Amino acid sequence: MRTQEFKRILQETETYCAWVEKEWKQKGKYAIQLLKDIAGIKPPSTTITVVITHPKLSNGAFIPKENLIFWGHPEEWKNYTIVYLCHELLHIFTHKKHSNERIMHAIIELATDNELRIRLNGKGTYFHEGKIEVGHPMLRKLERELLPLWQKYLRGTPGVKDIFDLEKKATRKLG
């Protein structure tokens, strides 16, 4: 039997799901184009299913073997959901194609949580959106160490055509 609380949560989740779908339909293609430009990789032509959860769960996760993303999070700043869906997509696109998972995760955050966010929003700074810190605190030190390499990469470092090349270069440099 469905309680009133269950019905309310289900309704809120369905409303949120409709909003996410509308948001993706409006901005997803553009965000993917930006992501291709930033990451230097072509997304695989495969279907990825996004399972929407209640936004108060504040979750984002992926199951690469199943091409699944689980997502539910309040919109903390403009384009938050688009940015973090792209974050999870990039995890799927790079899964098992890198040698250093921690460095690749930091690169994914530089690419999506930071560069993509700034490009989509037309303004911003790395690591902060207003007063809100962006990304995982556990990766912040590494991301700051990677930032000069990342900025050179964005300007067009010879021999570094995509985030996989960047990850290899960063692994050699930082270990």
Residue-wise pLDDT tens digits, 43-86: 888 999 999 999 999 999 999 999 999 999 999 999 999 999 99
Which amino acid would we find at residue 95? Answer: H
Mapped onto helix, strand or coil, the DSSP state of residue 114 is: helix
Domains of the chain, residue spans: 4-174
Whole-number Å distance between alpha carbons of 139 and 161: 23
Q: What is the DSSP letter of 125?
A: B
Alpha carbon distance 14, 20 (integer Å): 10
Instruction: Show Cβ contacts of residue 143 under 8 Å, excluding neighbours closer than 6 positions.
Output: 106, 109, 110, 114, 127, 135
The whole-number pLDDT of residue 120 equals 98
- Global pTM exceeds 0.75: yes
